[in-house]
């Protein structure tokens, strides 16, 4: 089998999607990356329709623009060994038929919960397309049976993954600590269940810093505002904020049926101390009290934060052990993507 293949990669050219595309490049594969959303009108109505009704409504527009984009690639005599769809909320069976003109094998990787209650309408096109993919990769065990019931041909479950480059610890300088230091950090988007939880921590006198988007929507915003230090951050700023925090909270999305999140890997990968909800997946990934610390509710979370903050040597030891464990578990993009490519039969 070839050690290097050509891949048509469909997904946002940003965030963890871009990390995965770059990981494939580091593995030695030739990657042509197309952002499907960039082929559609920039109006917010496209996104609103996708989230509220489904991408199948937008599909006729996408087919036309994608066909033109792929024809430009074809003019350079590019045929692909694999088409890798990351997400797929805009991809319908007709889009897959188009993709098969350029690649015999078409697979899907979805980091969200496309069957769960939170984003169900957004992924209607995805669900219609499941039988037409050669492989469907998910990160929740319950999704496996759900996709099989929807006639998916082949379903594979993997864990989320950190990135070898984006989540490698940075060399920190004095100014970085000045800009990013915090005692207890939650870095993430507002969801309804998160406001009451973080407010309880504040009321329990936990020195909390909140960073992330949409927190102004929280009913608790007037009481959270003084702890909020800014919106979404990426790249080096994201890495440094985690590295400069003594304790990093890992909160789950209940409607997304999370038992672990990307933060569950990224925080230890960056050398941060993970303080997350106690779940069967978290406790299988890390030894509690030695590689990460866990809790069941806000009261216990506050207790764990105090436990970590009270002993700097112990805190650093747990963070270091967590970093070693995420490496041992091979919860990194290159490892996970290699496993996915092996499952396609294209590489060994």
What are the domain boundaries of the chain? 6-161+332-344, 174-328
Q: Please tell me the predicted confidence (pLDDT) of residue 152.
A: 96
Q: Is 240 exposed, middle or buried, given 0-12, 13-18 or 19+ CB atoms closer than 10 A?
A: buried
Q: Looking at beta carbons, which pairs linking 35-42 to residues 24 or more positions away fall under 8 Å?
A: 35/10, 35/11, 36/10, 36/11, 36/62, 36/66, 36/90, 36/91, 37/12, 37/90, 38/13, 39/65, 39/66, 39/69, 40/65, 40/90
pLDDT exceeds cutoff 80 at 76: no
pLDDT exceeds cutoff 70 at 75: no
Please state, rounded to an integer, the average pLDDT across all residues of the chain. Answer: 94
Whether domain 6-161+332-344 has CATH 3.30.1490.20: no
- Rounded mean pLDDT of 145-149? 95
Q: Please tell me the predicted confidence (pLDDT) of residue 147.
A: 96
Instruction: From residue 258, give the alpha-carbon distance in Å to each of 7, 8, 178, 253.
Output: 30, 29, 33, 6
Q: Higher-confidence residue: 1 or 182?
A: 182
Minimum mean pLDDT among 75-79, 96-100, 341-345: which range? Answer: 75-79
Q: Please tell me the predicted confidence (pLDDT) of residue 2.
A: 65
**Helix, strand, coil percentages for the chain (3-state, nearest 5):** 45, 15, 35
Distance CA(326)–CA(336), nearest Å, equals: 13
Provide the whole-model pTM. 0.93
What percent of the chain shows pLDDT beyond 90?
87
Minimum mean pLDDT among 83-97, 110-124, 277-291: which range? Answer: 110-124
120 pLDDT band, cuts 50/70/90, is confident
- Rounded mean pLDDT of 142-166? 96
Helix (H) or strand (E) holding 323: helix 312-328
Q: Please tell me the predicted confidence (pLDDT) of residue 179.
A: 95
Q: Please tell me the predicted confidence (pLDDT) of residue 3.
A: 81
Instruction: From residue 59, give the alpha-carbon distance in Å to each of 52, 142, 345.
Output: 15, 28, 30
Q: Each residue of 273-329: pLDDT tens digit? A: 999 999 999 999 999 999 999 999 999 999 999 999 999 999 999 999 999 999 999
Residue 199 C-alpha from the chain's centroid: 25
Q: Please tell me the predicted confidence (pLDDT) of residue 118.
A: 81
| Same topology between domain 6-161+332-344 and domain 174-328 | yes
pLDDT exceeds cutoff 80 at 226: yes
Q: Each residue of 2-28: pLDDT tens digit? A: 689 999 999 999 999 999 999 999 999
Q: Please tell me the predicted confidence (pLDDT) of residue 52.
A: 87
pLDDT exceeds cutoff 90 at 116: no
CA dihedral of residues 179, 186, 258, 110 (deg, nearest 10): -20
What percent of the chain shows pLDDT beyond 70?
98
Whether domain 174-328 has CATH 3.30.460.80: no
pLDDT exceeds cutoff 70 at 244: yes
Q: If you write DSSP's letter for every residue of 87-144 in order, what string do you get?
A: S-TT--HHHHHHHTTTBS-EEEEE-S-TTSSSSTGGGHHHHHHGGG-SEEEES-HHHH
- Rounded mean pLDDT of 256-285? 97
Distance CA(143)–CA(160), nearest Å, equals: 14
- Rounded mean pLDDT of 163-175? 97
Map tokens 């496996």 to a residue: 144
Q: Each residue of 192-216: pLDDT tens digit? A: 999 999 999 999 999 999 999 999 9
Q: Is 107 exposed, middle or buried, given 0-12, 13-18 or 19+ CB atoms closer than 10 A?
A: buried
């Amino acid at each position: 089998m070839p050690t290097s293949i050509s891949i048509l990669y469909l997904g946002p050219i940003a965030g963890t999607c871009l990390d995965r595309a770059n990981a494939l490049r580091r593995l030695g594969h030739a990657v042509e990356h197309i952002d499907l959303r960039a082929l559609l009108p920039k109006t917010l109505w496209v996104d609103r329709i996708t989230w509220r009704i489904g991408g199948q409504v937008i599909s006729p527009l996408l087919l036309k623009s994608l066909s033109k984009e792929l024809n430009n690639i074809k003019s350079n005599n590019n045929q692909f060994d694999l088409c890798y769809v990351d997400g797929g909320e805009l991809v319908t069976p007709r889009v897959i038929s188009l993709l098969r003109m350029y690649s015999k094998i078409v697979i899907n990787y979805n980091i969200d919960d496309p069957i769960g209650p939170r984003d169900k309408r957004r992924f209607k096109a995805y669900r219609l397309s499941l039988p037409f993919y050669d492989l469907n990769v998910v990160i929740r065990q319950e999704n496996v049976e759900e996709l099989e019931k929807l006639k998916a041909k082949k379903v594979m479950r993997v864990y989320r993954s950190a990135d070898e480059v984006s989540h490698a610890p940075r060399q920190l300088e004095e100014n970085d600590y000045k800009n990013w230091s915090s005692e207890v950090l939650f870095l993430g988007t507002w969801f309804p269940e998160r406001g009451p939880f973080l407010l309880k921590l504040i009321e329990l006198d936990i020195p909390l810093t909140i960073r992330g988007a949409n927190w102004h929507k929280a009913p608790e915003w007037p009481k959270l505002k003084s702890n909020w230090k800014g919106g979404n951050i990426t790249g080096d700023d994201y890495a440094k904020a985690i590295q400069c925090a003594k304790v990093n909270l890992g909160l789950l999305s209940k409607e997304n049926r999370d038992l672990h999140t990307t933060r569950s890997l990224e925080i230890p990968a960056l050398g941060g101390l993970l303080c997350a909800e106690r779940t069967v997946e978290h406790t299988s990934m890390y030894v509690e009290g030695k590689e990460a610390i866990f809790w069941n509710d806000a009261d216990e979370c506050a207790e764990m934060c105090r436990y970590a903050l009270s002993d700097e040597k112990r805190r650093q030891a747990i963070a270091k052990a967590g970093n070693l464990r995420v490496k041992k578990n091979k919860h990194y993009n290159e490892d996970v993507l290699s496993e996915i490519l092996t499952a396609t039969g294209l590489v060994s």
